[in-house]
Amino acid sequence: DIQMTQSPPSLSASLGNRVTITCRASQSISSYLNWYQQKPGKAPKLLIYAASSLQSGVPSRFSGSGSGTDFTLTISSLQPEDFATYFCQQSYRTPLTFGGGTKVEIK
Amino acid sequence: EVQLVESGGGLVKPGGSLRLSCAASGFTFNNVWMSWVRQAPGKGLEWVARIKHKSDGETTDYAAPVKGRFTISRDDSKNTLYLQMNSLNTEDTAVYYCSREDSSGYFIWFGCWGQGTLVTVSS
């Protein structure tokens, strides 16, 4: 199975800050990497697919990069509605696997 | 409006069975692959099972922890996805989400999610 490791597990940041979350795959997955945002009690929401493609309707302050084993999700200027947990997920092969999540909290 | 609505969750004793349903609307259900993803309380996301569409043979795939106990199926005439869960144990306690798999070329992602249904396995 392909293991996905996210870091950090949590972070505190202020409004307007730039935030970077990393995701590492246990083997190369090319660009088969997706990012989701989840708020408490809600279903996950797709932000980025294929490592760097922004899902329709998602604000442009979100961006994704990387290929192979190392990926990043960047929020260029943190907004109040961005406080949530973020998950990466590989779609290179089954079993489809997720990272452990990064909780973004208010500083 | 694209919508996925899960139902069928509840409290079940260890060793028991439950069948979840996911009613789809707002898109052409028989054209898409579908998956179940679960989330144990306070934990991360775990993919459970996938079913492809009829054109791809309705092929199924399962995560190791549920293989042989869970069965994913679909009824395209009813636009409904199912998850039959047998021999449940406490580690199956989770919110279960159904999700539509969207794709572009070989790239696949979970583009649409239901609101989830809670399954609690406890004596």
CB neighbour burial string for A68-103, b if at least 16 within 10 angstroms, e if fewer: ebebbbebeebeeebbbbbbbbbbbebbbbbbbbbe
Average pLDDT of chain A to the nearest whole number: 97
DSSP secondary structure of B22-73: EEEESS-GGGSEEEEEEE-TTS-EEEEEEE--GGGTT-EEE-TTTTTTEEEE
pLDDT tens by residue, B83-107 = 999 999 999 999 999 999 999 999 9
Classified as helix, coil or strand, A77 is coil
Tokens encoding B34: 């579908």
Residue A99 has pLDDT above 90, yes or no: yes
pLDDT tens by residue, A11-40 = 999 999 999 999 999 999 999 999 999 999
Mean pLDDT, residues B67-94 taken together: 98
Closest-CA residue of B relative to A91 is: B108
pLDDT value of position A106:
87
Average pLDDT of chain B to the nearest whole number: 98
DSSP state of B91: G
Whole-number Cα distances in Å, A33 to A39, A51, A69: 20, 5, 10
Q: Do B64 and A98 touch (CB under 8 A)?
A: no
pLDDT value of position A3:
98
**Residues of chain A in Cβ contact (below 8 Å) with chain B:** 1, 31-32, 34, 36, 38, 42-46, 49-50, 53, 55, 87, 89, 91, 94-101
Q: Do A96 and B47 touch (CB under 8 A)?
A: yes
Is B45 in CB contact (< 8 Å) with chain A? yes
Rounded distance between C-alpha atoms, residue A49 and residue A31, angstroms: 9
pLDDT value of position A53:
98
Residues of A in contact with B108 (CB under 8 A): 32, 91
Residues of A in contact with B96 (CB under 8 A): none
Closest-CA residue of B relative to A96 is: B47
Is B74 in CB contact (< 8 Å) with chain A? no
Contacts of A51 (CB under 8 A, 6+ apart): A31, A32, A33, A64, A65, A66, A67, A71
